Amino acid sequence: MNILQIGILIFAIIEVGNVMMLYFMPGSRMGNGVGVFNAWEASKKDENIHELMKYLVYWVAGAKLIFIMMGIVVIVWGDIWVQLFTVVALIISIASFFWRLFPMIRRLDKKGEITPKGYNKTLALMIAAFIIGFLAVLIVALIQYF
How would you write the pLDDT of the chain (146 residues) with one tens digit per residue?
A: 999 999 999 999 999 999 999 999 999 998 889 999 999 999 999 999 999 999 999 999 999 999 999 999 999 999 999 999 999 999 999 999 999 999 999 999 999 999 999 999 999 999 999 999 999 999 999 999 98
- The pLDDT value recorded for residue 54 is 97
Name the pTM for this structure. Answer: 0.93
* CB atoms inside a 10 Å sphere around CB 83: 21
